[in-house]
């Protein structure tokens, strides 16, 4: 019997494969079968226990799309006109494709948007069939989104919701996401004799196992990094802790430091070490080298024991407790502070709370991509209506918290092609392992949200916008009024931020009563913040007018663009407010002894590996 004639079996070749290739493929299929059986058994057990019963419509979109469809069908002539327009565009494409098949050079009917990486492979242009698939998809996608935007009688909130989820559907249906219509995948399948698809199936099973039955797509090599070893490596000590946070004091990198310490309050929806990924781009290391005594809050990753935590707890046991601890550690009563994203929302609340109590311990405050007025929250507002909030509350009621992977999925949906579908193609269709990338490792290091605190934040900030209203929030019997904040502030926003849009962040300049320096950075929510001067990347804009105009558009009209990082501008602003130089402080040498080495134990609690 020839080497390739056997149908399979131990030591026998599969059609078209050598014996060695057959054995490798058979071992892979055996692995797939065994792991699939375990996953199905686990799913069955969870389902019978009640854990696997999910709502048929977890995002509660059915009624939204039914109401929208009724309004769309109410004007059949308009729908017919749109369909005729699409038909004419298809005719143009068919004509152009025919001309190409006859050897003529023809300009494309439609092209991908700038920055769309899905169609970078040359075959999408050079091969007529794939070029046709690409353009047909782009025409349909453009038509579909244009059509849903032009339906009359739909309120703005519903229109935004329909547009967002329509785009999710459009992105999912891209020909680049399917093996038979992606030229790269087809080429790899031929070259590897299908091994890419088998390996992709194994990768899929691995991600299902990681997610305990839910698909947890790996965006990076999760074994390539370890917190405290090759990320979050700046030296320091945990000098204080409570049930909500650990306070890290970083070791000085200069002989002298500014008298006023610096407190960084990161968001609790993810880990603080985005500011300390590696030495080359660590904001924490850079600020320490600039002569600041840096303290950072490392929030707890709450479990069932801490489901009762509320927003007040994050303020009292977070920044307020940190202020007391810093005074013990350094002898300094006054500090400067930074609040990042939701940490900035918390800091604004804290400043208003302190102002009402005549507490002036924060002498200057910086806000990184932080919203305090939520009237224009961007696409995250899509998730904040009563139906979807009720769905979130129902999910959290089972365990008392929102699992961090649910939050990560929400953020990934904002950039689905980059953060979801590109990895589906790479991991499952191409059969490749994800590339080691520290930023994506951090992005996957999810944190839980205690139910009461999370619903308070979603309802009172996003849905009702009470923080922007004088007395709208009352914390510890203190009405919160942002207009009572006279502390000098530095407000950073990212030009391309899709989580905290620059226009939304800018609104803080109209609420605080003290001097406010606004700075617009190039790039988005992460790269707009983490952009060290040594990188010489992006740009930033400043407007030196004494009074900030009413809108971001007016501010930009009078702004000047500067190349590179904004960190030096911030340093100049803060150093002038941070007092004289004093001998450098050693963590643990003050009245607060060291508890453990940085980055501490709270940040190392992981939900998924």
DSSP letters of 166-206?
A: HHHHHHHT-GGGSGGG-HHHHHHHHHHTTHHHHHHHHHHHH
As a whole number of angstroms, the distance between CA 247 and CA 240 comes to 5
As given in the structure block, the two tokens for residue 413 are 């949906």
Distances in whole angstroms, Cα of residue 400 to Cα of each of 57, 456, 605? 21, 14, 18
**Which is nearest to 83 in space by CA: 159, 140, 165?**
140
**pLDDT of amino acid 264:** 98
Residue 114 DSSP SS3: coil
Q: Which H helix or E strand runs over 297?
A: strand 294-299
Q: What is the average pLDDT across 147-157?
A: 83
Residue 405: predicted pLDDT: 79
Given this model, what pLDDT does residue 9 score?
47
Q: What's the pLDDT score for residue 14?
A: 57
Distance separating alpha carbons of residues 89 and 86, to the nearest angstrom: 5
As a whole-number percent, the residues of the chain with pLDDT over 90 amount to 67
The mean pLDDT of 313-318, rounded to a whole number, is 97
Query: Is 80 exceeded by the pLDDT of residue 432?
Result: yes
| Whether residue 399 has pLDDT greater than 80 | yes
Confidence of residue 160 (pLDDT cuts 50, 70, 90): confident
Q: What pLDDT is stored for residue 53 in this prediction?
A: 45
Cis check: omega of the bond before 522, within 30 degrees of 0: no
Average pLDDT over residues 57-79: 74
Average pLDDT on 292-307 reads 95
pLDDT at position 148 = 85
CA distances to 277, 370, 397 from 450, rounded to whole Å, are 26, 21, 10
Contact 168, 413 (CB under 8 A): yes
Look over the chain and give the mean of its residue pLDDT values, rounded to a whole number.
Answer: 90
Angstrom distance (rounded) from CA 483 to CA 492: 19
Q: What is the pLDDT of residue 6?
A: 38
Q: For helices 76-101 and 128-149, what crossing angle results, to 10°?
A: 160
Give the pLDDT mean for 58-78.
Answer: 74
Contact (CB, 8 A) for 79 and 72: yes
Instruction: Give pLDDT tens digits for 457-501.
Output: 999 999 999 999 999 999 999 999 999 999 999 999 999 999 999
For residue 341, indicate whether it is catalytic.
Answer: yes
Superfamily of domain 236-379+464-604: Alpha/Beta hydrolase fold, catalytic domain (3.40.50.1820)
pLDDT value at 10 more than 60: no
> Do 214 and 405 meet the contact criterion of CB atoms below 8 Å apart?
yes
Single out the residue of 367, 347, 330, 335 nearest to residue 249, CA to CA: 330
pLDDT at 81: 83
Residue 63: CB atoms within 10 A of its CB come to: 10
Return d(Cα 290, Cα 565) in angstroms, integer.
Answer: 15
Write down the pLDDT at residue 39.
67
pLDDT at residue 60, rounded to an integer = 64
**What confidence score (pLDDT) does residue 69 get?**
79
Q: Give me the pLDDT at residue 533, please.
A: 97
Residue 383 has pLDDT above 90, yes or no: no
Question: What is the residue extent of each domain of the chain?
Answer: 1-49, 66-177, 236-379+464-604
Encode pLDDT of 585-602 as tens digits: 999 998 999 999 999 999
Task: Return the minimum-mean-pLDDT range out of 37-41, 195-199, 247-251.
Answer: 37-41
pTM, two decimal places: 0.87
Overall average pLDDT of the 52-77 stretch = 69
Q: How far apart are the first and last CA of the chain?
A: 47
Is pLDDT larger for residue 26 or for residue 147?
147
Q: Which of 315, 341, 364, 453 is catalytic?
A: 341
Among the residue ranges 67-81, 119-133, 355-369, the one predicted with the least confidence is 67-81
- What is the band of 40 on the pLDDT scale with cuts at 50, 70, 90? low
Asked whether the beta carbons of 340 and 334 are under 8 A apart, the reply is no
Report helix angle 195-210 to 183-192, nearest 10.
110
Assess contact for 250 and 324: CB atoms under 8 A.
Answer: no
With a pLDDT cut of 70, the percent of the chain lying above it is 92
Give the pLDDT mean for 155-168. 86
Lowest-confidence pick of 114-118, 235-239, 363-367, 385-389? 385-389
- 208-239 tens-digit pLDDT: 888 877 788 899 998 999 999 999 999 999 99
Confidence of residue 47 (pLDDT cuts 50, 70, 90): low
Residue 52 has pLDDT above 50, yes or no: no
- Residue 8's pLDDT band (boundaries 50, 70, 90)? very low
Q: What is the pLDDT of residues 566-586, one digit of tens each?
A: 999 999 999 999 999 999 999
CA-nearest of 540, 587, 576 to 364 is 576
Q: Which of 182, 86, 80 is nearest to 139 (CA)?
A: 86
Residue 607 tokens, joined: 């939900």
| Residues 318-333: tens digit of each pLDDT | 999 999 999 999 999 9
User: Quick check: 35 pLDDT over 80?
Assistant: no
CA atoms within 13 A on the CB side of 362: 30
Among 140, 150, 156, 168, CA closest to 72: 150
So what's the pLDDT on residue 172?
92
One DSSP character per residue, 438-465 reads HHHHHHH----EEHHHHHHHIIIIIIT-
- Kindly tell me if the per-residue pLDDT of 58 is higher than 70: no
Average of pLDDT values for 105-124? 93
534-557 pLDDT tens trace: 999 999 999 999 999 999 999 999
């Amino acid at each position: 019997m020839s080497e390739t004639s056997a149908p399979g079996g131990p030591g026998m070749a599969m059609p078209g494969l050598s014996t060695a290739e057959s054995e490798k493929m058979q071992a892979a299929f055996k692995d797939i079968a065994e792991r699939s059986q375990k996953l199905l058994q686990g799913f069955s057990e969870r389902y019978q226990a009640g854990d696997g019963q999910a709502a048929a419509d977890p995002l509660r979109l059915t009624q939204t799309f039914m109401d929208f469809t009724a309004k769309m069908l109410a004007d059949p002539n308009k729908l017919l006109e749109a369909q005729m327009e699409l038909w004419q565009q298809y005719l143009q494409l068919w004509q152009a494709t025919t001309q190409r098949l006859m050897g003529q050079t023809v300009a494309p009917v439609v092209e991908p948007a700038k920055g769309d990486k899905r169609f970078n492979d040359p075959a999408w242009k050079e091969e007529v069939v794939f070029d046709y698939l690409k353009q047909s998809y782009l025409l349909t996608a453009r038509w579909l989104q244009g059509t849903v935007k032009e339906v009359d009688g739909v309120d703005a909130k519903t229109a935004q919701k329909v547009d967002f989820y329509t785009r999710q559907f459009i992105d999912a249906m891209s020909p680049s996401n399917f093996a038979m219509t992606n030229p790269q995948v087809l080429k790899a399948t031929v070259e590897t004799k299908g091994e890419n698809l088998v390996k992709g199936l194994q990768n899929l099973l691995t991600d299902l196992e990681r997610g305990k039955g839910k698909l947890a797509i790996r965006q990076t090599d999760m074994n390539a990094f370890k917190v405290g070893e090759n990320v979050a490596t700046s030296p320091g000590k945990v000098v204080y802790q409570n049930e909500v946070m650990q306070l890290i004091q970083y070791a000085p990198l200069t002989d002298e430091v500014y008298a006023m310490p610096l407190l960084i309050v990161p968001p609790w929806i993810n880990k603080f070490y985005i500011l300390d990924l590696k030495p080359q781009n660590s904001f924490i290391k850079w600020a320490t080298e600039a002569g600041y005594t840096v303290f950072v809050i490392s929030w707890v990753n709450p479990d069932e024991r801490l489901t009762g935590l509320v927003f007040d707890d994050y303020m009292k046991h977070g920044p307020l407790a940190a202020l007391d601890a810093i005074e013990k550690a350094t002898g300094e009563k006054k500090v400067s502070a930074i609040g990042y994203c939701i940490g900035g929302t918390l800091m604004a609340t804290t400043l208003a709370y302190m102002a009402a109590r005549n507490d002036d311990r924060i002498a200057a405050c910086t806000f990184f991509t932080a919203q305090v007025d939520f009237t224009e929250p961007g696409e995250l507002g899509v998730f904040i209506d009563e139906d979807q909030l009720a769905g979130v509350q129902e999910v959290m009621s089972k365990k008392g918290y929102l699992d961090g992977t649910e939050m990560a999925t929400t953020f990934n949906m904002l950039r689905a092609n980059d953060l979801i579908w590109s990895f589906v193609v790479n991991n499952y269709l191409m059969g490749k392992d994800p590339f080691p990338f520290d930023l994506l490792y951090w992005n996957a290091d999810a944190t839980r949200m205690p139910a009461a605190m999370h619903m308070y934040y979603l309802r009172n900030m996003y849905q009702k916008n009470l923080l922007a209203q004088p007395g709208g929030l009352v914390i510890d019997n203190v009405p919160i009024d942002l207009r009572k904040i006279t502390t000098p502030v530095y407000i950073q926003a990212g030009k391309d931020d899709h989580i905290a849009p620059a226009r939304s962040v800018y609104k803080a300049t109209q609420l605080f009563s003290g001097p406010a320096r606004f700075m617009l950075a190039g790039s988005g929510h992460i790269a707009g913040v983490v952009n060290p001067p040594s990188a010489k990347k992006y740009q930033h804009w400043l407007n030196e007018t004494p009074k900030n105009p009413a809108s971001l558009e007016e501010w930009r009209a009078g702004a000047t663009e500067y190349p590179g990082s904004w960190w030096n501008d911030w340093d100049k602003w803060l150093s002038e407010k941070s007092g004289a130089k004093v001998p450098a402080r050693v963590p643990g040498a003050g009245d607060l002894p060291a508890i453990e080495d940085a980055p501490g134990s709270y940040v190392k609690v992981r939900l998924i590996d």
